[in-house]
């Protein structure tokens, strides 16, 4: 499989293309600046921190979490590498649900510590959609690159026999 660095280079290269498309859609007034910003930030965060390789305790994505990496240890124990975590849809959904659960737990602890609820603003539907698409695309790219490389290697290995 490609290394984490190769995946990140591919995802970063595609971000330029996606950003150019977003700029075109912005100029065409299809989306707003808020949508473009939400997309780019979600894409960058997802590429760096929500990689399908979070199921590997030694992956760069896992280490990027710094002191908070311990939050992903149960995830790594629950999911074997390249199984559900590398499903084009369910892999991303499981990471998103897991992250959401962690946010809820941390939020609940914060409420207990602070002693009052924490208010959070709700973004627009456009920003939420842009965030969802931006977060999903690097994960889909990662899985597709792994599948293409695996298929190519299998095909190449058969020719050598």
pLDDT at 1: 63
Q: pLDDT digits over 110-161, tens only?
A: 889 988 887 888 899 999 999 999 999 999 999 998 888 877 777 666 666 5
Q: pLDDT digits over 34-49, tens only?
A: 999 999 999 999 999 9
Nearest of 97, 148, 136 to residue 11 by alpha carbon: 136
Q: What is the mean pLDDT of residues 81-86?
A: 80
Nearest of 39, 49, 47, 42 to residue 18 by alpha carbon: 39
Bigger pLDDT: 132 vs 8:
132
Q: Which residues of 110-138 are buried (b: 16+ CB within 10 A; e: fewer)?
A: eeeeeeeeeeeeeeeeebeebbebbbbbb
Residue 9 pLDDT greater than 60, yes or no: yes
Q: What is the mean pLDDT of residues 29-36?
A: 93
pLDDT at 141: 94
pLDDT at 64: 92
Nearest of 6, 2, 12, 3 to residue 137 by alpha carbon: 12
Residue 69 pLDDT greater than 70, yes or no: yes
pLDDT at 83: 79
pTM above 0.75, yes or no: yes
Q: In Å, how far are 62, 87, 90, 130 from 75, measured between CA atoms?
A: 11, 15, 14, 26
CA-angle at 57, arms to 53 and 61, nearest 5°? 45
pLDDT at 158: 62
Q: In Å, how far are 72, 105, 106, 109, 149 from 102, measured between CA atoms?
A: 9, 5, 6, 11, 33
Q: To the nearest whole percent, how much of the chain has pLDDT over 90?
A: 50
Q: Label residue 78 by pLDDT band (50, 70, 90).
A: confident
């Amino acid at each position: 499989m490609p290394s984490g660095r190769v995946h990140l280079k591919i995802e970063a290269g595609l971000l330029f293309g996606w950003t150019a498309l977003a700029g075109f859609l912005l100029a065409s007034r299809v989306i707003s600046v808020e949508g473009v910003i939400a997309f780019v930030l979600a894409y960058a965060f997802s590429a760096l921190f929500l990689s399908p390789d979070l199921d590997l305790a030694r992956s760069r994505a896992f280490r990027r979490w710094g002191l908070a990496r311990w939050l992903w240890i149960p995830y790594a124990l629950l999911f074997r590498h390249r199984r559900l975590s590398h499903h084009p849809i369910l892999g991303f959904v499981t990471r998103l649900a897991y992250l959401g659960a962690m946010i809820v737990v941390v939020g609940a602890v914060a409420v207990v510590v602070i002693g009052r609820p924490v208010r959070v603003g709700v973004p627009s539907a456009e920003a939420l959609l842009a965030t969802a698409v931006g977060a999903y695309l690097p994960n889909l790219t990662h899985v597709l690159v792994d599948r293409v490389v695996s298929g190519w290697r299998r095909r190449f290995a058969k020719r050598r026999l």
